[in-house]
Amino acid sequence: MTHAAPRFPTLAQTLAPSRSITRDIALIVGGAAFVGLLAQVEIPLQPVPLTLQTLGVLLVGAALGWKRAFAALALYVVAGAVGLPMFAGGSAGLYAPTGKVRASLGYLLSYPFAAALVGLLVQRYALDRKFLGTCLAMLAGSVVIYALGLPGLSILTGLEGNALFAAGLTPFLIGDTLKLGLAALLLPAAWGLVGRKES
């Protein structure tokens, strides 16, 4: 009986092929730290800031594969929730300074699932080897982020319809398109370097 298991190695598996718990922990912690670092690159829009953390989410998903990526982003969310300055602008906790639950909570909770989907697509179909394939994987991850982020924003702010899209979608489309394109350039380039190194 065959199982629909991942067929292609990720960048992390290729660069560090020796399997060990220590390696997996290092990759998971490193992935969470990487997203936390990119979250500090911020354009302070309201009610949800524009940062590079979603770029980190998608890159970690592709580089680590779905299991480690899910764990890395879950660690990222938990670390920020308990007080480490992991979120945009060095913020932490699930509450905004106003005392209300932060409006970006839905987006934050989407990250493990978005990263896992990107990782699964990469492991199943090797989409990160080519520009267009990487774009498709990143687009799928972005859809997950908005599919969970927008309803969360609506619940927490009361925004609906056009006002909801104006606050939680439209301001980010150009930036997300640029981030998607950057990821689609970086990942195939990284595989190209790995291929030359192995040859």
Residue 46 to residue 153: CA distance in whole angstroms: 12
Strand, coil or helix: 182: helix
Domain segments of the chain as ranges: 11-191
Q: Which fold does the domain 11-191 belong to in CATH?
A: Arp2/3 complex 21 kDa subunit ARPC3 (1.10.1760)
Give which of 52, 54, 57, 55 is closest to 40, Cα–Cα: 52
Q: What confidence tier does 5 reach under pLDDT thresholds 50, 70, 90?
A: low
- Range in 53-57, 161-165, 175-179 the model is least confident about: 175-179
pLDDT at 4 over 70: no
- Kindly report, residue by residue over 98-125, the tens digit of the pLDDT: 788 999 999 999 999 999 999 999 999 9
- Could you tell me which residue, 153 or 44, shows the higher pLDDT? 153
The token duo for 61 is 């998903």
Strand, coil or helix: 95: strand
pLDDT at 197 over 70: no
User: What's the chain's average pLDDT?
Assistant: 91
Identify the burial level of 51 via C-beta atoms within 10 angstroms of its C-beta, where 0-12 means exposed, 13-18 middle and 19 or more buried: buried
Task: Please state the rounded mean pLDDT for residues 130-138.
Answer: 96
Task: Please state the rounded mean pLDDT for residues 135-148.
Answer: 97
Give which of 151, 176, 147 is closest to 164, Cα–Cα: 151
- Kindly report, residue by residue over 48-82, the tens digit of the pLDDT: 667 899 999 999 999 999 999 999 999 999 999 99
Q: Cα dist. 19→36, 125, 155, 197 in Å?
A: 25, 22, 42, 21
What per-residue confidence (pLDDT) applies to 1?
Answer: 40
Q: What confidence tier does 165 reach under pLDDT thresholds 50, 70, 90?
A: very high
pLDDT at 199 over 50: no
What per-residue confidence (pLDDT) applies to 162?
Answer: 97
Is the pTM here over 0.85, yes or no? yes
Q: Cα dist. 76→48, 64, 112, 190, 199 in Å?
A: 18, 14, 9, 24, 36
